[in-house]
Amino acid sequence: MKNLILLALLCACAAAPAATGPAASAPAAAAPTAADAKAFVEKVGPELRAAGIKSSTAQWIQNTYINDDTDRAASQANEAALALQTQAVKDAARFKGVTGIDDATARMLENLRVRGAGPSDAAHRMELTTLGTKLSGTYGKGKWCGPDGKKECRDLEQLSQLMAKSHDSAALLDAWAGWHTISKPMRPLFARRVELLNEGAREIGYANEGDRWRSGYELTPDAFEKETDRLWAQVKPLYDDLHCYVRAQLQKTYGKDQVKDAAPIPAHLLGNMWAQEWTNIYPLVEPYPGQTSLDVDAALVAQKWDWKKMVQTGEAFYTSLGLDPLPETFWQRSMFLKPRDREVICHASAWDVQNDNDLRIKMCIKPNEESLETIHHELGHNYYQHYHYQLPYLLQGGAHDGFHEAIGDSIVLSMTPGYLKQLGLIAQVPADEKGLIDVQLKDALTRVAFLPFGLLIDKWRWDVFSGKIQPADYNKSWWELRRKYQGLEAPLPRSEEDFDPGAKFHVAANVPYTRYFLARILQFQFHRAMCQAAGFKGPLHECSIYGNKAAGARLRAMLELGRSKPWPEALFAMTGQREMDGSALLDYFAPLQKWLKEQNAGQKCGW
């Protein structure tokens, strides 16, 4: 395949005289032209697509049927695709500075240059893909069987259910500590993967892999980091207000000996294994208990909603906007439930396995509100894939990866109490200020609480890739960032024998994470723009675009662009703005922030 790529790069040369002796030399190759660039992308795009299909197919099988054979097959397919992509990325560099290239070809070349590349050394490349499979497989198979290994073993799904429902601090601590043991063996594998990723990044002109990740946003790495810091500064005051209120409420359950004044909150008490979203502690921090019934989980169980009804409900939201139904193959090929007979990765994800509208989701759906929202989110990925899959391969994808995450999240914002009442999942829409605060606080425990977590994971990895954080300080630096940005602390003493970052899927699987932080900003921008398109005039938090074709048309116009335009142009198509902006999030939560400040009066906030 390497030779096939090079054929597109060869330049036509004039016939040269035969060599007559040792001093004769080959003629110099002609400089590449705009026509050569066009021929290159027309050749390499379909080849990368074909290799990507093989890799995606192998990964799907490995994710839904984890064993040594599927691990090996995935590693081999990924290595083949990476080898092809590595050479293509390097070859694309030939065309820098070539004049006369048409806009579409120039865009394809730029999209190719920021793709990942493995080391040129084939053994190192195979080592890299094997390490990736081992790390994600270790995560997927992780279980906690007690400190002596004699308890009934529990996987992440079971441990997460305990953390979501229990308010027994000892049980929560056991679940938290137990899951964080599964990542200890990852530490040396992760460190070696960093070395190999950096090797590949340097070969294509980046200082390190972190710089390559940040270059995917059409800004310099330093400028992009400043951009994320700017967005965080916009929304941080709201997070600080929420943190202060939640800590005071948790003290009422766990006491000030466990949740101290003006100190970080212990990470195991927030209802989530990573304390990334705090929705599950809503019963402990509910502003006005008994005022409003928001127990969607109980309604789903009582009404016997199964996975199919939940997914059909998600699809119905998108089709209500005038978007297409999902293809029949979606229902035949997706994984909706956790199989009983094999190990799988339950972490929800959306796929177009064969890059031809072969849409699927992979989930272990439960009859709860979190799964219902996740379905709406994952289908956002599928609809993005659906509306750009017919573009040339090198123009497919999200305008940037935060866009891909924000689509479904913006739809979830329309899952208002009015929408949930329409589904029969709540009895009444809150009609007064107390009801509004209940709704907004519950929403903020998901969306606002997540913001610093979404930012810090890649801040940690950027510094790992650059060498600022050395392997000897992996865990120490991890908790320093979690304290700084989230105001959280580990519930147990940690050491460098631990590798707590690896207990998060995206670190084990090498998935960049800043996209989720950006999506938390963009989803509110998108929501505001679609509400404006729908003609909605009220407070932003009351808007649902369900059933509105004008809002759907605005959404579709952006989805169809894929990655064919720079992201500011895609953002403009949706919002009329060319800059990411946290003001829509602040507008949405304005009633809650005012209330939080009143509740926090007299409290010593911060940590």
Mean pLDDT of 146-168: 90
pLDDT (0 to 100) of residue 114? 85
pLDDT in tens, 510-553: 999 999 999 999 999 999 999 999 999 999 999 999 999 999 99
User: In this structure, is residue 354 part of a structural domain?
Assistant: yes
d(CA 359, CA 344): 19
* Catalytic-labelled residue, pool 347, 376, 404, 541: 347
pLDDT (0 to 100) of residue 103? 95
User: In this structure, is residue 246 part of a structural domain?
Assistant: no
Give the dihedral of Cα atoms 500, 501, 506, 507; nearest 10 deg: -120
Give the dihedral of Cα atoms 264, 507, 382, 360; nearest 10 deg: -120
Mean pLDDT of 296-322: 97
User: In this structure, is residue 414 part of a structural domain?
Assistant: yes
User: Does the structure show a pLDDT above 70 at 11?
Assistant: no
Return the percentage of the chain with pLDDT > 90, whole number: 85
Evaluate the CA torsion angle 583, 587, 589, 594 in order and state its sign: positive
Tell me the residue range of the domain where 425 lies: 304-431+515-590
- Weakest mean pLDDT among 206-210, 218-222, 425-429: 425-429
**How many structural domains comprise the chain?**
1
pLDDT (0 to 100) of residue 42? 96
pLDDT (0 to 100) of residue 14? 28
User: In this structure, is residue 411 part of a structural domain?
Assistant: yes
Q: Which residues of 523-546 are buried (b: 16+ CB within 10 A; e: fewer)?
A: bbbbbbbbbbbbebeeebbbbbbb
pLDDT band (50, 70, 90) for residue 28: low
Prediction pTM value: 0.87
* Catalytic-labelled residue, pool 245, 378, 387, 573: 378
516 is catalytic: yes
Return the percentage of the chain with pLDDT > 70, whole number: 95
* Catalytic-labelled residue, pool 268, 376, 381, 400: 381
348 is catalytic: yes
The CA-based angle 477-346-405, given to 5 degrees, is 65
pLDDT band (50, 70, 90) for residue 27: low
Mean pLDDT of 357-376: 96
pLDDT band (50, 70, 90) for residue 294: confident
Question: Could you give phi then psi for residue 581, rounded to 5 degrees?
Answer: -150, 125
Mean pLDDT of 169-196: 97
378 is catalytic: yes
* Catalytic-labelled residue, pool 209, 267, 405, 406: 405
pLDDT (0 to 100) of residue 24? 45
- Weakest mean pLDDT among 280-294, 312-326, 395-409: 280-294
pLDDT in tens, 199-214: 999 998 899 999 999 9
Q: What is the DSSP string of 380-444?
A: HHHHHHHHHTTS-GGG-S-SSHHHHHHHHHHHHTT--HHHHHHTTSSS----SHHHHHHHHHHHH
pLDDT band (50, 70, 90) for residue 23: very low
- 3-class state of residue 305 by DSSP: coil
pLDDT in tens, 84-134: 998 999 899 899 899 999 999 999 999 998 887 889 899 999 999 999 999
Which H or E run includes 198? helix 186-203
d(CA 305, CA 49): 38
User: Does the structure show a pLDDT above 90 at 268?
Assistant: yes
Q: How many CB atoms are closer than 10 A to CB 31?
A: 10
Contact 395, 364 (CB under 8 A): no
541 is catalytic: no
Q: How many CB atoms are closer than 10 A to CB 2?
A: 11
d(CA 389, CA 53): 13
User: In this structure, is residue 206 part of a structural domain?
Assistant: no
User: In this structure, is residue 389 part of a structural domain?
Assistant: yes
Mean pLDDT of 461-471: 98
Higher pLDDT, 523 or 218: 523
User: Does the structure show a pLDDT above 90 at 21?
Assistant: no
* Catalytic-labelled residue, pool 419, 506, 542, 553: 506
**Residue 197 is which amino acid?**
L
377 is catalytic: yes
315 is catalytic: no
pLDDT (0 to 100) of residue 12? 28
Q: How many CB atoms are closer than 10 A to CB 449?
A: 23
* Catalytic-labelled residue, pool 106, 164, 348, 553: 348
577: left (phi over 0), alpha (psi -120 to 50) or beta: beta
Question: Could you give phi then psi for residue 361, rounded to 5 degrees?
Answer: -120, 155
433 is catalytic: no
93 is catalytic: no
Q: With helix as H, strand as E and coil as C, how does 458-519 read?
A: HHHHHHHHHCCCCHHHHHHHHHHHHHHHHCEECCCCCCCCCCHHHHCHHHHCCCCCHHHHHH
Q: How far, rounded to the nearest angstrom, does the alpha carbon of residue 13 sit from its chain's CA centroid?
A: 47
As a whole number, the mean pLDDT across the chain is 92
User: In this structure, is residue 396 part of a structural domain?
Assistant: yes
* Catalytic-labelled residue, pool 383, 387, 485, 516: 516
26: left (phi over 0), alpha (psi -120 to 50) or beta: beta
User: In this structure, is residue 239 part of a structural domain?
Assistant: no
